[in-house]
Amino acid sequence: MASTSEKATSLSSSCCASAEIRDSTPSSAADQSPAAVDRVIGERPSNLTRPVESLPESPTVTSSAVAKGVSMPWKTRTSHPLDPLSATEIKVAVATVRAAGATPEERDSMRFIEVVLVEPEKHVIAMADAYFFPPFQPSLLPRVKGRPVIPSKLPPRQARLIVYSKKSNETSIWVVEFLEIHATTRGGHHRGKVISSKVIPDVQPPMDAVEYAECEAVVKDYPPFREAMKRRGIEDMDLVMVDAWCVGYHSEADAPRRRLAKPLIFCRTESDCPMENGYARPVEGIHVLVDMQNMVLIEFEDKKFVPLPPADPLRNYTPGETRGGVDRSDVKPLLIIQPEGPSFRVKGHYVEWQKWSFRIGFTPREGLVIHSVAYVDGSRGHRSVAQRLSFVEMVVPYGDPNEPHYRKNAFDAGEDGLGKNAHSLKKGCDCLGYIKYFDSHFTNFTGGVETIENCVCLHEEDHGMLWKHQDWRTGLAEVRRSRRLTVSFICTVANYEYGFYWHFYQDGKIEAEVRLTGILSVGALLPGEVRKYGTTIAPGLYAPVHQHFFVARMDMAVDCKPGEALNQVVELNIKVEEPGKDNVHNNAFYAEEKVLKSELQAMRDCSPLTARHWIVRNTRTVNRTGQLTGYKLVPGSNCLPLAGPEAKFLRRAAFLKHNLWVTPYAHNEMFPGGEFPNQNPRAGEGLGSWVKQNRSLEEADVVLWYVFGLTHIPRLEDWPVMPVEHLGFMLMPHGFFNCSPAVDVPPNTHESDIKETNGVVAKPVQNGLIAKL
């Protein structure tokens, strides 16, 4: 993902009224003054970034010399070690791996599932943030005899590639180091070096969109399938939709020695509506198994004839009469304007806003990643909160035991990739106001580079009232409105849409939110049939009950410098005091703390009856009252799997058995179901096996794995589109600040709300008079 050149769009009265910020770097010579640069991007103007190439390796420089502008010993680097891979880097990585193939046949059979940045160790990130990239933070590095150790250069960036061989059905992992990359427009050359490669046995990598398209074409071209569709009255194959779902793992027949898919079939009507909802007509009774390696049908059976649901005029979601309704005509324009522009500042992938700072990353699997979250706290400077925040997996198990629904338990991150299915937001109303967009770059199946423009949205939102108090004696009141900074992306996985959001608040809170919308995955019914495992939502159509689970991985670093392992996790529960001398009025209750000392002890579930929450504390840093500083995880609404303990999908998703898991940081422990959950025959791989080491957490570099979800019992009102469902959790300061940062929020300077007086719409003006509009 990379920023592109600056481009601003004018405000309009449409639902997409917004201004777009494409890059904050000044573009004209007049804007190149240090003051202008400092104002726009928030970096230190000046001589701190003058490159000096001749100084010796690992020199030391005093802090006073730094303050006076002594030249620094490094070459200018354009890419921070955490910046996502550029399109050029992806091309270099693919070309390097392809060139390493032993034969032309091997090279031709390579399919590129994923090319992603190898994120460096934390000490490398600390080096970069200390002296190579603004805002420079020398305090992040260790000091020798009171002087900071300044490295001469950063290590080269690396890419990690997952490669699938169509010829051998093998999956391999490659690591490529970038030796030298110059822009092709400058006539430069590109070089990469293979650092390592290994074949991973007994796995299947995620499916790709190219495979889905090929699978649909193969199924629709299969003569017995065409005959089966004719029996259902369909001869036009252009109306047929084939969604290639992964088979999961239910028996040895699903073992990864073959790359398999069991498609779901749907069919549009004769409608000429280009946005017709084809998911409204599921094709029941046809069993198809596809060998995705060789793209051939290996099993086909027309098991049971179920008529296609009738064409329902309420099936569509497009405007007006095409969906059997009339659009509302009484909605007036609602404009989001910021006359002086946004309050955030962006340089590359580095963001500053209201004392918050962080870096934006993006991967094909996780989508949005938030790095190096810190809060500027007066004289205490940048205080670290978290090293890395992301959504690493999601699972959607269905509760209908009938074919084909019992197999519907998608791992949408591990089997498909949330990032690779992200939207371009430039044409939607997904964000309003002044917006900074970030593009993302991916490899496609054959090794080319594809770009999703405007993939990530960064913008400010009004969020109601932050705080208020009125003194009843004087009648005087103080009130502040809340504003939050939102970073988000939206992806589509088959019929469902998922929006992923990280909200940063002025009072030090961080909120993680998932919004679910899109179209239900439905089944067809025989005339007069009713299913107990779902809701009838239209004639001949029902939606099964199901659950959605998401896993947030939070590499915490509360008040820690890189490399420090000084955090612990404490669980708090409300306890009711026993009747007796300490509770003579029977009204007493209190919060009881318990340190989670090991991984097995830290396998925990939510408990709303005891207001259970968890605090990540720094074991060495205290606030003004002498308490350890911390951030607490406050659960939102949540659930656990409703399937039985022997459910097949729980073999691959053992991490769903608890809402909270805690592990000490390990560089290779990233995905709770293991890296390759597709057709995975190994029970409990990933988080379920890591915690069996029962490593100590009493003072550690802790990683929180929070599992949250909802149980969806479909309603009639969820058809043809499901209104957004919200779920998530909060990370809140707990003794982290000496007092609430919200105290520092100034009163709003914008005008008061519009008022209506004697039928005349008016608003207050600065001199206190009423001006008619």
Catalytic site positions = 412, 496
3-state helix/strand/coil string of 537-573: EECCEEEECEEEEEEEEEEECCCCCCCCCCEEEEEEE
CB within 8 Å of 676: residues ≥ 6 apart: 171, 200, 203, 204, 205, 414
Chain centre distance of CA 476: 43
6-45 burial: b if 16+ Cβ within 10 Å, else e: eeeeebeeeeebbbbbbbbbbeeeeeeeeeebeebbbbee
Is the link from the previous residue into 720 a cis peptide, with omega within 30 of 0? yes
DSSP string across 65-80: HHHTTPPBSS---SS-
Give yes or no for a contact between 279 and 521, defined as CB atoms under 8 angstroms apart: yes
Distance CA 125, CA 136 (A): 12
* 312 closest CA partner among 494, 540, 524: 540
Distance CA 439, CA 417 (A): 17
Q: Which residues pair with 554 in a beta bridge?
A: 389, 704
Backbone angles phi, psi at 532, to 5 degrees: -75, -15
- Per DSSP, the three-state class of 263 is strand
Distance CA 342, CA 346 (A): 11
Distance CA 721, CA 316 (A): 8
DSSP string across 636-692: -S-----S-TT-THHHH-GGGG-SEEEEE--TT---TT-S--TT--STTTTHHHHGG
Task: Count Cβ atoms within 10 A of the Cβ of residue 340 and give its class: 0-12 exposed, 13-18 middle, 19 or more buried.
Answer: exposed
Helices 209-220 & 223-231 angle (0-180, nearest 10): 70
State both tokens at 687: 């988080």
- Angle of CA points 459, 460, 463, to nearest 5°: 140
Distance CA 328, CA 640 (A): 39
* 349 closest CA partner among 374, 371, 375: 371
Neighbours of 64 (CB within 10 A): 8
- Per DSSP, the three-state class of 516 is strand
Eight-class DSSP state of 135? S
What is the helix (H) or strand (E) element at residue 738, kind and residue range? Answer: none
Type of residue at 661: W
Is the link from the previous residue into 135 a cis peptide, with omega within 30 of 0? yes
Backbone angles phi, psi at 610, to 5 degrees: -110, 15
DSSP string across 139-170: GGS-EETTEEB--S-PPPPEEEEEEEETTT--
Report H helices in 1-86.
Answer: 34-41, 63-67
